[in-house]
Structure formats: structure tokens, C-alpha cells
Structure 1
Amino acid sequence: MHNIIKARSVASKEKLLAISGLLSGAIIWGLIWYPYRLLEQMGVSGALSSFATYLIPLILGFTLYSERLRLRHFPPILLLIGLTAGWTNLAYVLAVIDGEVMRVLLLFYLSPLWTVLLARLLLHERLRFHGYLVMVLSFAGAVVMLWRPNLGLPLPQNTAEWMALSAGLTFAATNVLSRRAEASDIWLKSLSVWVGVSVLSLLALIYQPATLAALPMLPVSGWMWLLLVSILIFAVTLTVQYGLARAPANQAIVIFLFELVVAAVASYLLAGEVMTAQEWLGGAMIVAASLFSGKLEHDTYPA
């Protein structure tokens, strides 16, 4: 009896820590666009700030994990996770620097639609009612949010919005791939993310070498922002990976939606951005689709 009570206590504690980890990730990602914008105003491009703020966690991760790291046991699927997660994070940063924060996030949260499609293609999961409801709500929400009678088809209107859309797609791909890499521990998955962003950012910098000139002229406050964001990314990557490994998928997606609340308040207070009624309606439909996506865990079956 004592062992059962102890086991339940440990499980309850782990669940609380998992929820806290996911919630901290939602809060940080709902705010982190602001320092990236400040750095861009100081002359640090999105690619350069992404490279700097992910290179530091990468170095820390390799240093702390070096004794247990065995590259010969590095599953190939983690390379794919690194690429998809790398583009997710890089595209997100580039999108929130140049685009409207809430439109970027709402386009990003079309990810349930892409998850449904990718799960069908890669995991051979067929859908029932809730799966199709997710697809319809997500697509309809995007149409409502993006529709402009004078602009023709309801497509993203600028590079930032296309970046946000692509980030949501690769975020969904990362989630689907992670289902097939459950045996890998938190550190390996986190290292994959840091490597992916660092490599893709470096490739972008190769085509924009002039942006490196901003570093020698960066004020002390800029270096402090880079260091702070790096530490936050290091911590939040680990805590989110911990949460994803222990919290049910339906619970995780609901918790992540808190990012939208944080970003809505922050974008209004810090950037003076206000969404139209049409954008709120489309965004509400996308949020609803994300909430319904939690049902997919119990509403899919093998093909």
C-alpha cells in the first residue's frame, strides 16, 4: 500500500512538472519575439540573432552531455527532427520580427491541420469525426483570417506570413517525427533542435555576410539581450521536451495555446498591435481546431 501511494505521489509530481514545463514554454514563446525585434532594431538580423541564441545552448548542451553522448547511437530520425525543428524556430523568429505577432502565431497554429495530414501519410493513421473537424476548422479559420475581397485568393500577404505558415507545417512534422523517436532522451532531442537552428541560421548568414558587421557595433544592452534569450532557449527547450515526454498530447496542445493569450496581451502593450474582428473570428476558429485536435489521440486508427 505504501508503495502504491508513493508511486502515485511520484506520478503526480511528474505530471505537475510536465505541465509547468509546457506552460513555461508557452509563456516564453509568447514573449520572446520582443527581444528579437529589439535586436533587429540594433542591426542584428533575424538569422544572426537566431544563430547566436541557439549556438550558446548548443555549446552548453554538448558540454553538459558530453560524457553520455555517443554519436554512434544517434538515431537518424533525430537528423530529420533537427531539420524540421530548426526551420520551425528560425522561420518563427524571422516571421515575428517582420510580421504582426498575432497573425504570425495564428498562422503558425494551423499546425493541427498539417498534423492530421502528415499523420495520415507518415503514420498511416486514418481519421474519424474529430480529425475531419480539425481539418475543416483550421482551413476555414485561415480563410476567414486571410480573406481580403480586393486581393483575390485568401493567401498569406507577405514573407512573414508565409514564414509563419511554413513554421506551423514543420512544427507539425516535428511532432509526428517525435512520435517515432520516443526512445531518444530529452537531451538528444534538445541537441537536435539546437543543431538544426544553428546550422540553418549559419547557411542563411553565408548569403548575408554583411549582417555580421553589426556585432562589433552592438551595444552592451544588445549583448545582454542575446545572452538572456540564449539562456531562456536553453532552459525552455529542455522543459518543453520534458513536458512533451510526460503529458498527454491533448493536454499539451491546450497548454501551448496559452502562448496566444500571452502574445495577444504583449503585442498590444509592447507593439500597439490590434487585431480586427475578422482576424479574431478566424483566429478563434484556428484555436478551436487546436482544442479539438486533442481528441485525435483517441479518434484515429491504423490504416
Structure 2
Amino acid sequence: MGERAAPVLALMVNACVWGLSWWPFRALQAHGVHALWSTAVIYLAAFAVFILVRPAALPELLRTPGLWLLAGAAGLTNVGFNWAVTIGDVVRIVLLFYLMPAWSVLLAWALLGERPSAAGLGRLLLALAGVAAVLDTGGVGLPWPRALAEWLALGAGFCFALTNVLLRKLSQVTAGSRVLAMFGGGMLMAGGVALAGGLQGAIAPLPRLDGAGWAIALLLAGGFLLANLCLQYGASRLPAHTTALVMLSEVVFASLSSVALGAAELTARTLAGGALILAAAAWSAWPRQERPYSAQ
């Protein structure tokens, strides 16, 4: 137990940083910095520092097309999630993002040829039932997303699931180049969407920050750096299913903080749907030995 305590604590710190990240993004938004610009600048700094530390990763990234797809998926994950938590109900956004176990079943089938087991199909249906409950407003018609933030959260969860599948598919590529691809993707995709939105007049250009704005930006950058270090330390010392289960605590940190600060509202439907989504996520992370699904 003692040997597991430090890695579990490290993963909890990672989950806490991501669960609370909505606040500095919203604080920077109040200073006129859109979440996409914040994301682009943070990942630009991370990309530059990582190249200085691991210069050999850049040539491998440039000559491996699969890493470009990884960069796009990881970048769009950040675009969707970071933008969504600044404009939507944080609890609903985080829960919709955690539909990723359902996406993973479908993507692993399509990209890796892994036919879903009966349990995998069960998790898919459980997660979809949870999403339907979260999106249901009691009105007439199907429970579709009704706001940009909800579409962004669903898209971010899909892209995160795609990121995880691609990481498995690119397991023969060095870890350094995969990390660099993810940093580069966050920089390019967030910056590209922010620039395109600026040209359309939908996103304000990057402003000059005052002292308080710089303090928040440095806090966010430092938090993400700490989170990444904690993730590398914890995930390398614990089984994958344990890592996934501990990371579900991000939902708790995001929910408690956002409700306490008035950035989210808990309803009976949200609680019921969230319970189903988290049950599906926990089920997918639980150690198991499954027989392949067969239609016979």
C-alpha cells in the first residue's frame, strides 16, 4: 500500500489540476484572452521547451505521418474541452467529455480491428444512456446538444478517445516524439482555430496582459507542467486500469469547485446521467478478461 500511495497521490494532483483548470481559463477570458489563445500560448511554450530538452524528437515527428494525426487529435481535444469549460456549465461539460469510453469502443473497432466484446457493447449503451439523461431538458424531441459548449465537449471526448487509440497504434514510435506531437497539436490547432475565428470576427485578437493576467497565465502554465510530471510519475508506476480509475476524480474536483463558485448547477437529470457515464468509465477501466463478442 505504501508503494502505491505516492503514485496515486501524483495522479490525484494531475486530476485536480485538470478539474480546476476551468477557473484560470475563465479568469483569463475575463482579461480578454480567449481560451484558444491561452491554450495556444501554453502549448507553444511547452513545445519550445521540449525541443530544447529532446531535440531528436522533432525529426521523428516530421517524418512520421501517423504522428501528425495524433497531433491533430490531441490538439482538437484541447480546443474543444478548454473552450467548452469557459462558456458552458462545467459539470455538464466534464460529464459529456467522459463519454470517451464509448467512443473508444467504436474507434478501437474501426482503427485497430478490435471487435467489441459483449461487455464493451454494454458499456457503450450505458454511457449513451447517461449522455441522453444529461442532455435531456424535459422538452419534446431527442436529447441532442443544444449549445456550442455541449457540442465542443462531445467532440473533445471523441478526439481524446482517438488520441488514446492512436497512442496505442503508434506504440513503436518513441515517447518523446509522441509527447512533442501532442504539444505541437495543442499549439497549432488552438492557434489556428483562434486565428480563423479572429478573421471572422468571432474571437477577439490576443490582447496585452496586465500583471494579474500574467500571474494567472503563469499559474495555469505551471499547473499544467506539474500535472504532466505527476501523470508521468504515477502512470508509469501503476497498472493502466488503476490510473484510469484514479483519473475519474477529475469529475469530482470539477463538479465541487464549479458548483461552489457558481459555474455549474446540479440537477436530478445531471446527477443520474453522470452516474451512468461514470459507471461506464469505471467499468471500462476495471481489470477484466473478456471473451470476444460473437453474433452467434
- Structure 1 and Structure 2 fold alike (TM over 0.5): yes
CA 17–300 in structure 1, closer or farther in 2 if over 3 Å, else same: farther
1:69 to 34, 57, 61: 57
On the 8 A contact 1:186/1:238 being kept in 2, the answer is no
On the 8 A contact 2:89/2:265 being kept in 1, the answer is no
- Shift in Å, 1:214: 4.8
- Shift in Å, 1:238: 4.3
CA 176–287 in structure 1, closer or farther in 2 if over 3 Å, else same: same
Structure-2 residue corresponding to 1:230: 221
2:163 to 174, 184, 189: 174
On the 8 A contact 1:138/1:286 being kept in 2, the answer is yes
The answer for unaligned runs of 5 or more in structure 2 is none
CA 97–70 in structure 1, closer or farther in 2 if over 3 Å, else same: closer
- Shift in Å, 1:69: 3.3
Matched position secondary structure for 2:57: coil
Structure-2 residue corresponding to 1:253: 244
Structure-1 residue corresponding to 2:280: 289
- Shift in Å, 1:222: 0.4
- Shift in Å, 1:153: 1.1
Which residue identity is paired with 1:109? Y
Runs of 4+ in 1 over 6 A off after TM superposition: none
Structure-1 residue corresponding to 2:89: 100
1:229 & 1:31 partners in 2: Cα distance?
Answer: 10
On the 8 A contact 2:25/2:38 being kept in 1, the answer is yes
Structure-2 residue corresponding to 1:205: 194
Which residue identity is paired with 2:245? V
Structure number with higher helix proportion: 1
Matched position secondary structure for 1:154: coil
1:190 & 1:72 partners in 2: Cα distance?
Answer: 12
Matched position secondary structure for 1:199: helix
CA 83–213 in structure 1, closer or farther in 2 if over 3 Å, else same: closer
Matched position secondary structure for 1:127: coil
Structure-2 residue corresponding to 1:279: 270
CA 245–76 in structure 1, closer or farther in 2 if over 3 Å, else same: farther
Structure-2 residue corresponding to 1:3: none
Structure-2 residue corresponding to 1:119: 108
1:148 & 1:212 partners in 2: Cα distance?
Answer: 32
Structure-1 residue corresponding to 2:123: 134
1:300 & 1:225 partners in 2: Cα distance?
Answer: 49
CA 95–213 in structure 1, closer or farther in 2 if over 3 Å, else same: closer
TM-score, length-scaled by structure 2: 0.88
- Shift in Å, 1:241: 4.5
- Shift in Å, 1:246: 4.9
- Tell me how many residue pairs correspond in the alignment: 290
Q: Does 1:81 align with 2:40?
A: no
2:33 & 2:91 partners in 1: Cα distance?
Answer: 23
Which residue identity is paired with 2:51? F
Which residue identity is paired with 1:271? G
2:70 & 2:233 partners in 1: Cα distance?
Answer: 16
Which residue identity is paired with 1:138? A
On the 8 A contact 1:48/1:201 being kept in 2, the answer is yes
Q: Does 1:215 align with 2:207?
A: yes
- Shift in Å, 1:244: 4.2
The alignment's C-alpha RMSD in Å is 2.5
1:189 & 1:17 partners in 2: Cα distance?
Answer: 26
CA 58–106 in structure 1, closer or farther in 2 if over 3 Å, else same: same
- Shift in Å, 1:240: 2.5
1:290 & 1:265 partners in 2: Cα distance?
Answer: 19
**Structure 2 matches for 1:239-250, cutoff 5 A?**
239-241=230-232, 243-250=234-241
1:297 & 1:62 partners in 2: Cα distance?
Answer: 39
On the 8 A contact 2:14/2:226 being kept in 1, the answer is no
Which residue identity is paired with 1:254? L
Q: Provide Cα deviations, 1:233-282, integer angstroms capped at 9, x if missing partner.
A: 23323442454455333222211110011111100222352210111000
1:129 & 1:242 partners in 2: Cα distance?
Answer: 34
On the 8 A contact 1:104/1:164 being kept in 2, the answer is yes
2:130 & 2:117 partners in 1: Cα distance?
Answer: 20
2:176 to 174, 187, 193: 187
Which has the larger displacement, 98-107 or 50-59? 50-59
1:182 & 1:245 partners in 2: Cα distance?
Answer: 15
